[in-house]
Structure 1
């Protein structure tokens, strides 16, 4: 019987699983014919039954009663893992929540192959947590434990940008010096690596990997900056209240602009405090919109509108973002220029991480022959423009942006567990 193993790309925004069965490596359809699945869970209020991916997103936006969760990967390595969160009134630990999602992916693979899969290579960012090696180790240990919880007997890890390189290597003739830019929802990771169709069978590729760097900046951070700079001012962000003209609490808005934190705002205490601030607000029309979001628990709809705006601005210069769920007819016009101004400092952090990778590899920009772009954030025009400026002499490969990491992890699993 052919060797069987798999790779799982558990992403901040989207996830995939690919299997290696003998000489064949392929992505598993995880949602109808789709090979990627939004990293989202919806727990129905009546029985806490869990739905996943697009089904979870649809249930939330169709206004079913329950708890919606996204960006679970960003919780790994943080104190929230031990604290847990309330799900429909009951405390649930995040290891259990993440395990439910990974179990869903494993079940899809089992259905696809009709065989149990014991061996997995899990993708991981270069840094789960920036500038905190202990938290980074803890995050990997937590993910390993969760993978074992869902039934995997042997768990290995590979950096996501290296996995993306493996997925592209099958199409390379001769040797090329490449940099992989894996820009996902939560992190941006880079690898400088020598690639060749002649190296595909090598079990040990350590000598081909010249450097790895990463930074905890991704598409979710671009969404947050867009929200804070352009959208949330229409909800009272940086407005004032009271006789002393104090600025309204900014933490409330910062949490409202993050998928992993928005659920923590729907408490009686926060809603009551916001009502009190509304009485003293100097811009009641805009601040009342914030209260409306908190009272109706539609913060995720606000985040989705910001994400939709970012996506729309990849193809057009202006977009009218709709917030009719807050106020009939409420449109906020956003231009690509406004978006790029809002995210410029995040893009600089990304480009600095790429420069650091070159420095570690002790090579120059002109030495790079191939730039491999993977992850949804590489769709952003400013990001593409930045990488073309940094590497003007290099060819650019950006096919299979959302699935190359999963494929590469499966290729790596074939080597690790053969």
Structure 2
């Protein structure tokens, strides 16, 4: 008997769910007509009511009272996962938060399937946590337990870049040796794999997968680097204070540049310390903006403006980043050159990891027929130029950047659970 199954791409920045039902594989519309949704939640203070995806982002940007969260995937495998966090005055465990987010996706899929789906392939990065195998095992175990809590009976995992390859394989003629470049919000993963539409019904693809590598570097890190290079100086980053010309504390700026850490800054202690330093600050105008962000809890608004700037610089050589929420008419000009310089070292790490994948596979750059780019961060011009330079003779496929992993996971679920 054929069985309905699904694939869930729980991403650092965006998420999706796709259904496989008797050979038909498709993405589910999870928010309006969109098949992807931001991996974001907003808990309205009154009643702790949760909102998801774009609705969560809009609730936050409209300055509704409550708690905003993004990059939830990054807590998997870390001590923070067990510690939990305060949400509108209540301690909430991160597994509860992630279950709530993923349940919202599953409910949409169950409604479309007309039944509760019990079979799932969950996507996972090659490494949840770099250079920590115990944390990596713990992260997958945590995600598996979450899947059980969602009601799934049969659960498997697949590396996200391999899933992206499966999604591209369906329409492929002949056999190609491909490298998948999957750049998400939190990780960059690579797979060298043999692809052919003749292989799509093979339940075991181990012999076709030549190597996997991955690093915990992604689009959120690009945001952080851009923020520190071009945005945080407007809030007094690296300015000085006091008679000894001491540099102002930097860790506030680092935390203010990461989606997953912003909420930990809004404490009485940190605000009090910032006020004390402001009294002695040599650039009071800029440093006062930092205090304003902390007091008004607009760190996520600042990060959203940074992300908007990053996206604008994928198609423009310069951009006037607006910061009206700080001061009327305040803008700062940011150039593509600044962005490239800020992320250069991260690009180098990504490139090195891709080359390590080739070495592990025992193939040369010239052997690669196809480069599959997936994940929103592959839009970044410096990424595009780097991989064109690395593989000048290979064809480049970059369609369905945000949805190919979800689709590929559903194809994989069909092969694994299609006859349960």
> Which band: TM-score by shorter chain?
over 0.9
- Matched residue, 2:274: 274
CA apart distance, 1:242: 1.1
Deviation per residue, 1:162-207 (Å, 9 max, x gap): 0000000011101000000000000000000000011111111000
- Matched residue, 1:353: 353
Aligned pairs (5 A) from 1:19-418: 19-418=19-418
Within 1, Cα distance between the matches of 2:149 and 2:201? 31
CA apart distance, 1:2: 4.3
Instruction: Return structure 1 stretches of 4+ with deviation > 6 angstroms.
Output: none
CA apart distance, 1:358: 0.3
CA apart distance, 1:141: 0.4
Q: Give the SS at the match of 1:128.
A: coil
Within 2, Cα distance between the matches of 1:346 and 1:224? 11
Within 2, Cα distance between the matches of 1:152 and 1:408? 19
Within 2, Cα distance between the matches of 1:47 and 1:152? 29
Within 1, Cα distance between the matches of 2:319 and 2:114? 46
Within 2, Cα distance between the matches of 1:227 and 1:339? 9
Deviation per residue, 1:8-57 (Å, 9 max, x gap): 00000000000000110000000011000000000000100100000000
CA apart distance, 1:245: 1.0
Aligned residues: 418
CA apart distance, 1:417: 1.0
CA apart distance, 1:329: 1.0
Within 2, Cα distance between the matches of 1:7 and 1:119? 9
Within 2, Cα distance between the matches of 1:67 and 1:118? 32
Within 2, Cα distance between the matches of 1:163 and 1:400? 13
Within 2, Cα distance between the matches of 1:347 and 1:153? 40
TM-score scaled by structure 2? 0.99
Structure 1: give runs of 5+ residues left out of the alignment. none
Within 2, Cα distance between the matches of 1:155 and 1:50? 26
Within 2, Cα distance between the matches of 1:415 and 1:256? 43
Q: Give the SS at the match of 2:182.
A: strand
Q: Give the SS at the match of 1:199.
A: coil
Q: Give the SS at the match of 2:68.
A: strand
Pairwise CA RMSD:
0.7
TM-score scaled by structure 1? 0.99
